[in-house]
Chains A and B, each alone.
Chain A
C-alpha cells in the first residue's frame, strides 16, 4: 500500500493516479461521514463528490498540521453542513417538549448494537438535531463552536442535542425491544 505522504505528494502534482489512490483509500470513511450528516444516500453521494473535488483543488493548503485524514474530514463535514444550510434552510427548533425523560434504562452500555444500526438511528434524526449530535457527540465540538459553525445560539445547540438524545433513546429502546422479542 502506498504511503500517504507519497499519495499527497502525487496529488500536489495533480497526478491523476495519486488522486485515484487517495479517493479509493478514503471513499468509505468519507461517505460514512457524509451519510451521517446528510441522512440519505443520494444526497450524501453528491456531497462526497463535492468534498473530494474540494480536497483535490485545495490540497496545497494542507500544511501538515495535524493528520491528513482529520483535514479531509473537516472539509467533508463543512461540505455537508454547507449542503444542509443551502438545501434545507428551515430548521424547526423544538423549544419545549413533553416527551417523558424517564424511559431510559441502563441499556446503552450493555446492548450490543451493530454500527450500521446506530448509523440508521443517526440518519433518522431531524436535520437540526442530527447536525448538532454529530458535531457534539461524535466530532466532539463544543456548543460554542457549533453555534458559530451553524449560526445558531448555544442554547439552541443544547436543546437540539437534548432532543437528539431523547429520540435516540427511544430508538434504542425500540431496537432492544425487537432484539428481546427475537430472542
Chain B
C-alpha cells in the first residue's frame, strides 16, 4: 500500500461514520418548520398555477358567451325594428314575440331592459309611469316571468281579452295599482345603467327628447365607442421578457478589462412582471406602478494567472538525524530539534474559472406619459418616461480591475453597487379592446439605464444596460 492510500484509509476509517454534534439546539425545529414551509409553498404554487390558468380560461369563456348573446340580442333588435311601425305606441314596445323571448336568457335581462328603455324614449312614452315600464320590461326580459305576468294581468282585466298588447296598454292607463302588484322590483331602468350595459350608448341629453321613432332618431343611437373612456383609471397586469444588452465604458487605463469582459460575458433573457395604474384623460394618459426587473449577464471567465505566492505559514522541521549517544552506542537517532520556517516563494500558475449568471434585481417605479390612437377596437398606446429602480438583490461575480481576481457580489450591500437606478423607458403597445372594461395588449418596449449600475468610486468602469423586450398583459378600466 503506498503512502497516498494510507492517507485515504486513515481518513476513511476515521470519518466515514463520524458523528458531529450540531452546535445549535433548534436544528430539529428548523427542519420541521422548513418542511411545513415547503409543503405550504408547494400547495401555494399549485393553487397559483390553477388560478393563472383558470382566470384567462374563464375570461375567454365569458367573452365568448357574451359575444354570442350580443349577437342574439342584435338579431332580436333588428327583427323588432323591422316589425315596428312608425309612430308606434307603448304597445309595440311590449309586443310579445314568443320566438324572440324564448331566445332571451335570464342573464340578458339588463341588456334587454336598456334597449327597451331607449325604444320607449324614441316612442315618446314619457307619460307612462315607471310601474308600467317595469311591467313591459318584465314581460320581455324573462320568458317564464312573462307568461305568469300575462296570466295575472289577464285575470284582473276583463277588457284585455283582445290581445296581450292591448292588455298592457289598458293597464297602463286605468289599472296602474293592480299592475304594480306584479312587483318587477329587480328591474330598474336608468340612464346610467343603459350607459353601463356595454351594448348601446345614448347620445347626450337632447336625445332623450326624441319624440318620434324615426329612422333619424334611431340612427343617433350609436354603438359605444370603446376608445373614448375619458378621465378613467385603468389597471394593467403585464409580463415582459427582456434581452439584456450591456455597454461597458472606461478610461484607457481599464480598456483591457472592458475588452476581456465584453468577450467573456454574454446577454441573457430576463423577465419582468409588473402592475401599473393608468390615468386616462381626453388626450393623454399617465402611468405608474411597480415593476420587478432583473438585469444581468452570463459570465464565463476562464483564465490562467501566474502569481508569486509566498506561503509563510508553513513550518517544517529539518530531517537531519543525529546520533544521540556520543559514546558510540548505536541505535539512537532522533530528529533534531532545530526548527525553521520555510517560505515558499514558488510561482504558481492558477486557473480561475467563473461560470455564472449574474443577476441584479430591482423594484422599479415607472412614471410615464403617453397618447392613444384608436382604430375601431385596436388602440395603439405610445408612452415614454422614466423609472426609478431600487436594488433589492444582487448575485454576481465581477472581474476586478487588476484583471486577475474575481470578486464576489453576494448581496445588495456590496460596495460595488449603486442602490438607486434611473432608467429611460419607451413603450409602444398594441391593445385590443375585448369589451368596455377589458383589453389585451402586446407591448414592445425599450429600457435604458441612465447611470452606471456599479459604483464608480469602487469600480471605475461604467456598466449600463439597455433592455429590449416584449410584454403582454391585460388591462381593466374602471
**A and B associate in one complex:** yes
Check if A35 sits within 8 Å of B20, measured CB to CB: yes
Interface status of A20 (Cβ within 8 A of chain B)? yes
Residues in A whose Cβ lies below 8 Å from that of B315: 174
Check if A36 sits within 8 Å of B348, measured CB to CB: no
Interface status of A12 (Cβ within 8 A of chain B)? no
Q: Which of B14, B15, B31 contacts A52 (CB 8 A)?
A: B31
Complex Cα spacing A31 to B34, Å: 17
Residues in B whose Cβ lies below 8 Å from that of A137: 7-8, 11-12
Chief secondary structure at chain A's binding surface: helix
A92 nearest CB neighbor, chain B only: B350
Check if B32 sits within 8 Å of A169, measured CB to CB: no
Complex Cα spacing A161 to B168, Å: 100
Give the interface segment out of A1-9, A60-68, A76-84, A101-109.
A101-109
Check if B351 sits within 8 Å of A93, measured CB to CB: yes
Residues in A whose Cβ lies below 8 Å from that of B376: none
Interface status of A140 (Cβ within 8 A of chain B)? yes
Check if A115 sits within 8 Å of B21, measured CB to CB: no
- For the side of the interface on A, what is the size category? 35 or more
Residues in A whose Cβ lies below 8 Å from that of B6: 108-109
B18-59 to A contact mask, C-beta < 8 Å, 1/0: 111111100110111011001000000000000000000000
Interface status of B316 (Cβ within 8 A of chain A)? yes
Check if B32 sits within 8 Å of A16, measured CB to CB: yes
Complex Cα spacing A105 to B317, Å: 12
Residues in A whose Cβ lies below 8 Å from that of B323: none
Residues in B whose Cβ lies below 8 Å from that of A94: 348-351
Q: A28-B20, A99-B346 are in contact. Are A49 and B352 (CB under 8 A)?
A: no
Chief secondary structure at chain B's binding surface: mixed
Q: A28-B20, A90-B397, A115-B14 are in contact. Are A45 and B354 (CB under 8 A)?
A: no
Interface status of B3 (Cβ within 8 A of chain A)? yes
Q: Which of B24, B28, B348 contacts A20 (CB 8 A)?
A: B28
Check if B20 sits within 8 Å of A108, measured CB to CB: no
Residues in B whose Cβ lies below 8 Å from that of A92: 350-352
Q: A27-B22, A49-B27, A56-B35 are in contact. Are A118 and B3 (CB under 8 A)?
A: no
Check if B316 sits within 8 Å of A32, measured CB to CB: no
B29 nearest CB neighbor, chain A only: A49
Cβ < 8 Å to A, chain B residues 116-163: none
Residues in B whose Cβ lies below 8 Å from that of A93: 350-351, 353
Residues in A whose Cβ lies below 8 Å from that of B354: 89-90
A122-133 to B contact mask, C-beta < 8 Å, 1/0: 100000000001
A26-39 to B contact mask, C-beta < 8 Å, 1/0: 01110110011000
Check if B350 sits within 8 Å of A95, measured CB to CB: yes
B146 to chain A, nearest CB (A): 58
Check if A118 sits within 8 Å of B31, measured CB to CB: no
Check if A89 sits within 8 Å of B18, measured CB to CB: no
B253 to chain A, nearest CB (A): 25
Complex Cα spacing A109 to B12, Å: 13
Complex Cα spacing A105 to B319, Å: 10
Residues in B whose Cβ lies below 8 Å from that of A105: 319
Which 8 A-B pairs have CB atoms at the shortest separation, nearest pair first?
Answer: A98-B346, A28-B19, A137-B8, A115-B14, A32-B20, A108-B6, A93-B351, A32-B18
| 15 pairs of residues in contact across A and B, judged by CB atoms under 8 Å | A20-B28, A28-B21, A28-B22, A31-B20, A32-B20, A36-B15, A45-B24, A89-B354, A89-B355, A93-B353, A94-B349, A98-B344, A118-B14, A137-B11, A174-B315
